[in-house]
């Protein structure tokens, strides 16, 4: 972590204190080059120890060392030497940089820290070696007084920042950020833009990846089993492989109904941080399995503190509801053939009233009124083929169970969005069960429900309009029972495909101006909420489209 702290104090804090980690090309390549070095792990010991006639030679890989007195621990890639005189060798990806010191400061202090630990363990160690894999060059680094003093100073600085906080501020317009693996977590330009105010800072550079490389794997084949074959997940029915997905390209596994998953698969998924979500065959969200909780205890403490403060809860709830109503109004303007002026202005009034609500129950009332107005015009935004008009005839919003196809689609879309937000919140380090607007109730992911408010019209409602209006779903995709309608397996598959298309669709971020997928939007917004709760930004910027 000394390396990271020297590169950027905020990076050191994010990784060491908040337990954040993310891969980029550099970290993946670095791990690849370390694979041989990491194969064996040893402790520092002179070879031939105990044989008086032999001069002990040392050539050990992956040597772990720690010292309370220095407050440091390390893993030395390779330790070379003879007797008590040793040289640590640190493997680096890429080529040797042509700088006067032979390498950049983060690498120098990391190596020097290894030298100090070796000295603490009784070895003589005056220099180390950086081995650059890309150019296969060794750079000799002498541990002179200046480097030792800088290393000790940075180690003390890192411990002090970790113990007292707060998180160090992001670097300003730094060329280091585009190469930083945590740029999508840190959001340096976005925070600066929100802190100094629009116009005072340049718009954020588009450093957040626009889309994800990994996607959810949905499995709904009744009785199917998921097993692992090397780096691939296989979906098997009666010992016949009916589907495959590469683990590296899987972001979550979503199981509908009676689908089985083997213990080795669950262990592998937990280890890789890939959650498994369990839904009923109709799409009702039962729960989730994931690895050890995110290490960011600091964030959860902030969340609990804000959840216990009625004024801050109300302020956040107002923003969620205002954004939701604004997005409903936009959906109406975009999709209704002739939206009534009265309705648009009533919704505008609802946005104003939501902003003035002085209690959560008042806000709930405003939201309920706006929702009724929104759904009163929903049927007029549906334009199915004439032959399907009766199928998608909508009278009102109803649920548990939905009594018509449109309500069945809306319910499934909301359930999928709830699951999506729950997964995002877990991955960012929140407790999804404690919200600010929705009150805790057993088994209800209240924070996920809070945050999904503004996305109900943008993702779920708009998705339902799309699949009905472009004829993707038709009468034969619904199963009818007395008083209830649900999707058939084929209908659900089509709807899930359309949902994933929607999540992959790129949209312009209303505040930052760059384009990212909806899937990425959710993560960025969750991280902005985390920054708001940590008092790094004064307001949570809600997501509204025009």
**Residue 306 binds ligand SF4 (CB under 6 A):** no
- Burial class (CB within 10 angstroms; exposed 0-12, middle 13-18, buried 19+) of 415: middle
- Burial class (CB within 10 angstroms; exposed 0-12, middle 13-18, buried 19+) of 201: middle
Query: Three-state secondary structure along 166-198?
Result: CCCCCCCCCCCHHHCCCHHHHCHHHHHHHHHCE
Q: Whole-angstrom Cα distance, residue 507 to residue 324?
A: 17
CB 512 within 8 A of CB 187: no
CB of 28 to ligand SF4, least distance (A): 17
**Residue 57 binds ligand SF4 (CB under 6 A):** no
Size of the site for ligand SF4 (CB under 6 A): 14
Q: Whole-angstrom Cα distance, residue 210 to residue 205?
A: 12
DSSP string, 257-299: SS-EE-HHHHHHHHHHT--EEEE-TT--EEEEE-SSPPS-HHH
CB of 516 to ligand SF4, least distance (A): 16
**Residue 177 binds ligand SF4 (CB under 6 A):** yes
CB of 154 to ligand SF4, least distance (A): 15
CB of 191 to ligand SF4, least distance (A): 9
Return all residues near 386 (Cβ < 8 A) that are at least 6 apart.
none
**Residue 171 binds ligand SF4 (CB under 6 A):** yes
Q: How many CB atoms lie within 10 A of CB 501?
A: 11
The stretch near ligand SF4 (CB under 6 A) out of 40-48, 177-185, 344-352, 506-514 is 177-185
Identified binder of ligand SF4 from the candidate list 170, 282, 435, 445, rule CB under 6 A: 170
Return all residues near 163 (Cβ < 8 A) that are at least 6 apart.
none
**Residue 183 binds ligand SF4 (CB under 6 A):** yes
The stretch near ligand SF4 (CB under 6 A) out of 5-13, 107-115, 343-351, 372-380 is 5-13
Helices and strands in the chain, H and E counts: 18, 18
CB of 288 to ligand SF4, least distance (A): 29
- Toward ligand SF4, which CB reaches closer, 180 or 452? 180
User: CA 61 → CA 79, 111, 501, distances in Å?
Assistant: 6, 15, 47
Q: Which two tokens stand for residue 460?
A: 């779920």
Task: For tokens 């390396």, name the residue.
Answer: 3
- Toward ligand SF4, which CB reaches closer, 10 or 531? 10
**Chain-centre distance of CA 355, in angstroms?**
29
**Residue 192 binds ligand SF4 (CB under 6 A):** no
Q: Whole-angstrom Cα distance, residue 108 to residue 148?
A: 10
The stretch near ligand SF4 (CB under 6 A) out of 46-54, 174-182, 346-354, 427-435 is 174-182
CB 233 within 8 A of CB 250: yes
Identified binder of ligand SF4 from the candidate list 180, 306, 406, 452, rule CB under 6 A: 180
CB of 166 to ligand SF4, least distance (A): 14
- Residue closest to 253 by CA, chosen among 286, 280, 271, 226: 226
Q: State the DSSP code for 513.
A: -
Q: Whole-angstrom Cα distance, residue 331 to residue 455?
A: 11
The stretch near ligand SF4 (CB under 6 A) out of 183-191, 265-273, 436-444, 519-527 is 183-191
CB of 358 to ligand SF4, least distance (A): 38
CB of 180 to ligand SF4, least distance (A): 3
The stretch near ligand SF4 (CB under 6 A) out of 172-180, 261-269, 383-391, 416-424 is 172-180
Identified binder of ligand SF4 from the candidate list 188, 429, 445, 541, rule CB under 6 A: 188
The stretch near ligand SF4 (CB under 6 A) out of 151-159, 168-176, 258-266, 349-357 is 168-176
- Toward ligand SF4, which CB reaches closer, 176 or 334? 176
What is the per-residue binding string for ligand SF4 in 92-131, x denoting contact by CB under 6 A?
A: ----------------------------------------
Identified binder of ligand SF4 from the candidate list 86, 182, 496, 521, rule CB under 6 A: 182
Which ranges of 435-533 does DSSP label H, i.e. alpha helix? 446-452, 455, 462-469, 489-504, 518-533
Q: Map residue 507 onto helix, strand or coil.
A: strand
CB of 79 to ligand SF4, least distance (A): 30
- Toward ligand SF4, which CB reaches closer, 94 or 471? 94
Return all residues near 314 (Cβ < 8 A) that are at least 6 apart.
357, 358, 359, 360, 363
The stretch near ligand SF4 (CB under 6 A) out of 3-11, 71-79, 476-484, 489-497 is 3-11
- Toward ligand SF4, which CB reaches closer, 56 or 184? 184
- Toward ligand SF4, which CB reaches closer, 456 or 531? 531
CB of 7 to ligand SF4, least distance (A): 6
Identified binder of ligand SF4 from the candidate list 2, 3, 10, 416, rule CB under 6 A: 10
Identified binder of ligand SF4 from the candidate list 2, 8, 154, 526, rule CB under 6 A: 8
The stretch near ligand SF4 (CB under 6 A) out of 167-175, 285-293, 371-379, 444-452 is 167-175
CB of 99 to ligand SF4, least distance (A): 19
**Residue 186 binds ligand SF4 (CB under 6 A):** yes
Identified binder of ligand SF4 from the candidate list 174, 280, 396, 439, rule CB under 6 A: 174
Q: Whole-angstrom Cα distance, residue 476 to residue 465?
A: 18
Identified binder of ligand SF4 from the candidate list 31, 95, 140, 176, rule CB under 6 A: 176
**Residue 11 binds ligand SF4 (CB under 6 A):** yes
CB 140 within 8 A of CB 125: no
Q: How many CB atoms lie within 10 A of CB 210?
A: 11
Q: How many CB atoms lie within 10 A of CB 365?
A: 14
Under the rule (CB under 6 A), what is the footprint of ligand SF4?
8, 10-11, 14, 170-171, 174, 176-177, 180, 182-183, 186, 188
């Amino acid at each position: 972590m000394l390396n990271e702290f020297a590169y950027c104090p905020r990076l050191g804090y994010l990784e060491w204190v908040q337990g954040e980690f993310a891969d980029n090309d550099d970290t993946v390549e670095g791990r690849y080059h370390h694979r041989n070095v990491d194969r064996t792990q040893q402790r520092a010991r002179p070879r031939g120890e105990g044989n008086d006639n032999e001069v002990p030679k040392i050539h050990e890989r992956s040597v772990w060392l720690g010292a309370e007195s220095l407050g440091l621990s390390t893993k030395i890639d390779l330790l070379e030497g003879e007797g008590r005189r040793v040289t640590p060798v640190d493997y680096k990806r890429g080529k040797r940089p042509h700088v006067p010191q032979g390498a950049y400061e983060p690498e120098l202090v990391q190596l020097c820290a290894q030298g100090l630990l070796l000295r603490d363990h009784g070895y003589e160690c005056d220099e180390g070696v950086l081995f650059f894999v890309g150019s296969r060059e060794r750079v000799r680094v002498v541990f002179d007084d200046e480097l030792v003093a800088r290393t000790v100073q940075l180690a003390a600085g890192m411990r002090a920042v970790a113990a007292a906080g707060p998180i160090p501020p992001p670097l300003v317009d730094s060329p280091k950020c585009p190469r930083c693996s945590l740029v999508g977590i840190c959001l340096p330009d976005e925070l600066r833009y929100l802190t100094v105010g629009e116009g005072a800072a340049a718009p954020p550079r588009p450093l957040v990846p626009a889309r994800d490389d990994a996607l959810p794997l949905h499995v709904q084949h009744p009785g199917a089993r998921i097993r692992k074959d090397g780096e691939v997940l296989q979906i098997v029915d009666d010992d016949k492989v009916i589907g495959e997905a590469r683990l590296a390209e899987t972001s979550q596994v979503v199981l509908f109904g009676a689908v089985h998953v083997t213990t080795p698969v669950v262990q592998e998924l937990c280890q890789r941080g890939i959650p498994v979500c369990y839904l009923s065959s109709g799409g009702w969200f039962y729960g989730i399995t994931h690895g050890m909780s995110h290490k960011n205890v600091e964030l959860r403490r902030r969340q609990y503190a804000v959840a216990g403060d009625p004024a801050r809860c109300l302020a956040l709830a107002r923003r969620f509801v205002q954004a939701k109503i604004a997005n409903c109004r936009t959906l109406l303007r975009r999709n209704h053939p002739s939206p009534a002026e009265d309705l648009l202005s009533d919704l505008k009034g609802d946005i104003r009233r939501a902003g003035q609500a002085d209690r959560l129950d008042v806000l709930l009332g405003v939201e309920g009124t706006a929702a009724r107005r929104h759904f009163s015009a929903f049927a007029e935004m549906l334009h199915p083929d004439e032959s399907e008009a009766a199928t998608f005839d909508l009278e009102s919003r109803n649920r548990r169970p939905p009594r018509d196809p449109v309500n069945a689609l809306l319910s499934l879309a909301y359930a999928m969005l709830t699951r999506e937000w729950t997964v995002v919140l877990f991955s960012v380090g929140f407790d999804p069960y404690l919200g600010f607007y929705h009150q805790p109730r057993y088994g209800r992911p209240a924070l996920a429900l809070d945050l999904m408010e503004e996305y109900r019209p943008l993702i779920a409602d708009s998705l339902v309009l799309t699949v009905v209006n472009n004829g993707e779903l038709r009468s034969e995709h619904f199963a009818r029972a007395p008083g209830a309608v649900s999707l058939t397996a084929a209908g659900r598959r089509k709807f899930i495909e359309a949902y994933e298309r929607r999540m992959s669709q790129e949209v312009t971020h209303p505040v930052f101006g760059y384009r990212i997928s909806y899937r990425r939007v959710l993560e960025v917004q969750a991280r902005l909420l985390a920054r708001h709760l940590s008092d790094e930004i004064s307001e949570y910027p809600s997501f509204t489209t025009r």
